[in-house]
Structure 1
Amino acid sequence: MNYRTLGVIAFTALISACSTRPTGPITPPPENVQAISKWETSGRVGIRTQNDAVSGNFSWQKAPDTFELNIVGPFGQGATKLDQSVDGAVTLSYEDTVVKGNDPATLLQQELGWEFPVQQVTYWIRGLASPNSSATITKNADSQLPNQIEQDGWLITYSNFTKVDGLSLPQKMQVSNPPFKVNLIINQWTIQ
């Protein structure tokens, strides 16, 4: 065999590898932000309380009945994990402590002194008001995307959005209810 024949065989193998179709069902992307049923996001987080300031990286996986939120400080220090299983049980793990309960916001408040309305934030992180209480939404006149949401005593401010599968999702936001403040810079979104 000469080099030309080897080149043709290699090129043919490369083309056929690129044209293979994935097996199994393909989930179409959601039609709108409200239709997102499952998502994963990651980025940077800054948390300020009355007595403390924490910064680091976060990752958050959310499905209809479960979630897992991980916050890791600089150099892997101060890892905090909050998750909810299908049966509704919530587990908070930090340092050498594991605490179980039924409400994620209550566990964070009792154990770490963090006020973080987890149920509402699952909507706010997508640029939506929670449907469980009234809200005041201020939108950008051009894009019609929210600039601010005021809900349940919290002010959510959006300063940047990004396109994900054709949908506009927050990339930079702040959730505040003084003295508590959370800044999120979202580097990655995966949605279904």
Structure 2
Amino acid sequence: MKIVTVAGHSNNRHRHQHQPESTTMTQGYRFALRTAACTLSLLLLNACSTLGARPALGQPETHTDAFDQRIYQDDISLSGKISVRYEKKGKPEQLPGSFDWDQHGTTLHITLFSPLGQTVARITQEGQRAMLEQDGQAPRYAQDLDELLQDRLGWALPVAGLRDWLQGFIRQADGTRRGLPRIDQQIENDGWLLRYASWQQDINLPKRIELNRDTTQAGHVSISIFIQPPGN
């Protein structure tokens, strides 16, 4: 009986001796868990702030705060393909063709051709004076070239904006001209949604530009422009 009693006291004594160690281990384990949870939360917050809002898969990424350093050319000659989609009396219309763009300071000459190479329209702008020539019709004059083209062609050709866009520039709210980075991107400018889908390999110019805008006269207007490398 003494042995049983002694053994019982001995076991109780051992249990009392181990309780502080168990408590210490439990507290340490809980502290480690709290530390790990806090660290994980900080990592997740940092990852979210770093990634930000990402575009949907397959959608071009929009960049409005990174501008490329290039020099705007007041004198430039460009050629390429153009395709215009718009609405006429509620029905969709499409006009494929090509164009020549000859710019010298404030003087601009644009020629639009049909897919067979026939001249569709000749546009001339000298300062504030604009003229539109079409075969079989008397020349038309106006101070607002964009309005003149809308009335006579039936769709909007944003000539003022194209002076910048064809060279990969946009106009800021303060009127300054800024060059865009050479990436696939979308950006709004002067009421148009622009997508720079591709760029020339050896020269600092765009290769393919998509222009989109909703209008009251011609519904949704979509203009696709493919610029050939100068000299080709």
Residue 14 of structure 1: aligned partner: none
* 1:25-70 residue CA offsets vs partner (Å, 9 max, x unmatched): xxxxxxx534312111101100111122111111101121100111
Residue 125 of structure 1: aligned partner: 166
Of Structure 1 and Structure 2, the greater strand share is in 1
2:84 pairs with one of 27, 40, 47: 47
Residue 206 of structure 2: aligned partner: 170
TM-score, structure 1 normalization: 0.69
Residue 150 of structure 2: aligned partner: 109
Q: Are 1:183 and 2:183 counterparts? A: no
Residue 154 of structure 1: aligned partner: 192
1:69 pairs with one of 110, 120, 123: 110
Cα offset for 1:112?
A: 1.4
Task: Report the AA paired with residue 54 of structure 1.
Answer: L
Cα offset for 1:145?
A: 3.9
- Identity across matched positions, percent: 23
In 1: Cα distance, 2:200 partner to 2:117 partner: 28
In 2: Cα distance, 1:131 partner to 1:72 partner: 32
Q: RMSD over aligned Cα, in angstroms?
A: 2.5
In 2: Cα distance, 1:35 partner to 1:107 partner: 27
Residue 23 of structure 2: aligned partner: none
Residue 79 of structure 1: aligned partner: 120
Cα offset for 1:133?
A: 6.3
Cα offset for 1:153?
A: 2.2
3-state DSSP class of the match of 2:171?
Answer: coil
Instruction: Pick the structure with greater CA Rg.
Output: 2
Say if 1:146 and 1:102 are closer, same or farther in 2 by CA, change over 3 A: farther
Say if 1:53 and 1:144 are closer, same or farther in 2 by CA, change over 3 A: closer
Gaps of 5+ in 1: 1-31
Residue 3 of structure 1: aligned partner: none
Of Structure 1 and Structure 2, the greater helix share is in 2
Contact 2:184 2:198 survives alignment (8 Å): no
In 1: Cα distance, 2:200 partner to 2:134 partner: 32
Higher relative contact order (CA 8 A, sep 6+): 1
Residue 38 of structure 1: aligned partner: 75
3-state DSSP class of the match of 2:188?
Answer: strand
1:95 pairs with one of 130, 135, 143: 135
Gaps of 5+ in 2: 1-68, 215-219
Cα offset for 1:82?
A: 0.7
TM-score, structure 2 normalization: 0.58
Say if 1:146 and 1:74 are closer, same or farther in 2 by CA, change over 3 A: closer
Contact 1:43 1:186 survives alignment (8 Å): yes
